[in-house]
Amino acid sequence: MHDPLKYHQEINRKLIHLSSSSIPFMLWYFGKDSFQPWIIAIAIILPILDYGRRNNKFLYRIYSKLFTGFTRPIEQGILSGASWVIIGAAITICIFNENSAIIGLLVLSIADSAAAIIGIKFGKTQLFSKSLEGSAAFFITAAIIVFTISPVAFYINFIAVLTATVVELFATPRINDNLLIPMVIAFILTLGGIG
Q: Tens digits of per-residue pLDDT, 7-66?
A: 777 777 778 888 899 999 999 999 999 999 999 999 999 899 888 888 888 887 887 776
Tell me if residue 130 falls in helix, strand or coil: strand
Domain map of the chain by residue range?
A: 4-191
Mean pLDDT computed over 67-88? 76
For residue 191, CA distances in Å to 14, 184, 194 come to 30, 11, 8
Q: What is the mean pLDDT of residues 106-118?
A: 94
Mean pLDDT calculated for residue range 100-128: 94
- Given a contact cutoff of 8 angstroms between Cβ atoms, the answer to whether 181 and 88 are in contact is yes
Q: Look at residue 3 and tell me whether its pLDDT is greater than 60.
A: no
Q: Which pTM does this prediction carry? A: 0.88
